[in-house]
Amino acid sequence: NASLSNPKAVIFGCAGAALSTPERRFFEAADPLGFILFERNCENPDQIRDLVRSLRGCVARPDAPVLIDQEGGRVVRLKPPQWRAIPAMGRIGALAKQNPKAGREAAFAAGRLIAANLAPLGIDVDCAPVLDVPAPGSHGIIGDRAFANDPELVAELGREFCRGLLEGGVLPVLKHIPGHGRAMVDSHADLPVIDLHRQTLALIDFAPFKALRDMPWAMTAHVVYRAYDQDAPATTSAKVIAEVIRGDIGFDGVLISDDLSMGALSGSLASRAKSALEAGCDLALHCNGKLREMEEIASGCGELSKAAQDRVARARSLLHKPEPADIPALAATLGAAMVQSAAMS
């Protein structure tokens, strides 16, 4: 019985809007800690609720985390008209530079409104906010997903966004620790390499993560930081995870890898999963829902470590029923903020 065992240290996607019999059998046998949803899995609220129940039923754990990427802007899986549109965080950052109070209020409203979309569906973990600090000339994969190029402002708005999610009964996931903002290539396709002094990285790239190190979850960057590790990206670098993420930054929440099927990583899928977990990630992440790939990933994943179990439990303890909120008023606040932002641009 899956519920009597310690789950595998992995989060899996699934292929469509409902589980196939082979998927159901695989999840029952593999017993992943939880699941992640994408646009392909999301047709309407009732269908999503049924899918979430089915996924949790496979592992016989009603509290199995269900994740989604709902950042706002161009990275959203739940889209209008069925779900409320949320602007890119870069727009909120641009407003905050001119009107700090309005920016903070907009960041909180964005997080709280996203939570109001997710929590009723049974989705309890949002892979947001992006705390990366874009550098001049960097690849556009981060771009306006980031709040700003000022680490202090990123941290300030990121905290408000997280507060909104948490008050709405959803756990935030900080992305992409310890920082993807300087990447000159897209890690979905290639491996970014950052060759910069430790002091500069600490002052700028790592700073927002350090400021929010008390948050419950974070997702690694598939990025090489040559100042710490010549070859391995953060996801598979024991040095970066121990010295930077757990050390200098001081993050002691749940550490999940970015998607293991991305082009930045090399080697077999099983070896990628094994390398990420051995380096110090608590969880491996595989997103595309391809059964053959998931079977291979599962072969590289052991059970959740004792430390990871404790972190998952601590994170779960922050989950609660959404606190009462005036959703129309929050939507009006965010709408007014975006009108103000547009007027300034």
Dist. CA 253–CA 326, nearest whole Å: 30
Q: Which of 132, 124, 112, 217 is nearest to 173 (CA)?
A: 217
Dist. CA 18–CA 41, nearest whole Å: 7
Token pair for residue 264?
């930045």
Among 31, 132, 258, 259, which one carries the catalytic annotation?
A: 258
Whether 222 is a known active-site residue: answer no
Whether 176 is a known active-site residue: answer no
Dist. CA 20–CA 189, nearest whole Å: 29
Q: How many CB atoms lie under 10 A from the CB of residue 316?
A: 15
Whether the bond into 178 is cis, omega within 30 of 0: yes
Among 188, 197, 214, 320, which one carries the catalytic annotation?
A: 188
**What Rg, from alpha-carbon coordinates, does the chain have?**
19
What angle in degrees, to the nearest 10, is found between the helix axes of 291-299 and 269-279? 40
Catalytically active residues are 188, 258
